[in-house]
Every structure is written in structure tokens, then in C-alpha cells.
Amino acid sequence: MSEHNLHPSVQKFKAFVNRHPSLKQQVRKDHTRIQHYYEKWMILGEDDPYWDEVSGEDQKERLTKKEWMRQFGDLLQEIDWEDVSKHIDDLNGAIGQIQQLISNVQQEKQKTERRPPIQFPYY
């Protein structure tokens, strides 16, 4: 459909989206949002502070690779590795107990399968 066939309000909305790159990216990621944004644009208009918030949220979400690595490094420094080691040991103990329980159940099952069926003397 060419741009000349579009309704004038749709053409204005398209121009508005083109002026807001973050909004344009969001619409490209999720096409179902376009109706939501169009309705907001029709109700609020172009100058509403809502559009600044939408642009700001998108820029906050985007982190450069260096910022992400720095944050990840900071997170790793905050971890108490002794605590992590203790939790891993506790988990290993629990897994060992579960394995022992399964082994016991299997042994009992094998014992019951080996027993001959009970025969009553009065048959």
C-alpha cells in the first residue's frame, strides 16, 4: 500500500514514529504494540510527556558491552564464595541421600521379585 493511500492520521503517526527512533525499534521488535502506540498517540498527542518516558526507558534498557561486563564483574565480587561452597556441599549431601533411597527401594523390589509366590497348603 503506497503512502498516498494511507489515512492522513496514519501518515502523521508514521512520521511521528520515524522522529522517535526508540519507539520505532520497539514497534519493529513487537508489531502488536503498534496499535497500542497509535491509540496513545491519538489520545495524548505528540507533545505528551508519555513519549519522553517511552524513549527514556528504551535507552535505560540498552547497555553497552563494557557497561554490562563491568556490572557483571561487580556482581561477581559481591558473591560470598564460602557461602556458595557450603550450599553446594549441602546439595551434594541431599543428592547422595536421594540416591541411597532410590538404591534401597530398588534392592527391596528385587528381593520381593525373587521370592516364590505364597502357596496355601489347602489347595
What does pLDDT average to over the chain?
81
Measure the CA–CA gap between 103 and 99, rounded to whole angstroms: 6
* pLDDT recorded at residue 55: 64
Confidence band, pLDDT 50/70/90 cuts, at residue 82 = very high
Q: Are 55 and 22 in contact (CB under 8 A)?
A: yes
* pLDDT recorded at residue 101: 96
pLDDT digits (tens, 9 = 90+) for 50-74: 877 776 555 555 567 788 888 888 8
Q: In the chain, what's the furthest Cα-to-Cα distance? A: 99
Q: Using the structure block, give the residue that is written with the C-alpha cell 497500542.
A: 36
Rg (CA), the chain: 33
Measure the CA–CA gap between 30 and 56, rounded to whole angstroms: 18
Q: Using the structure block, give the residue that is written with the C-alpha cell 521488535.
A: 29
Question: Count H helices, E strands: the chain?
Answer: 6, 0
Q: What angle do CA 106, 112, 114 make, to 5 degrees?
A: 105
In this model, does residue 46 exceed pLDDT 60? yes
Tell me the average pLDDT across 74-94.
92
Tell me the average pLDDT across 94-99.
96
Lowest-pLDDT range of 17-21, 30-34, 114-118: 114-118
Cell numbers describing residue 96: 547422595
Lowest-pLDDT range of 17-26, 52-61, 67-76, 93-102: 52-61
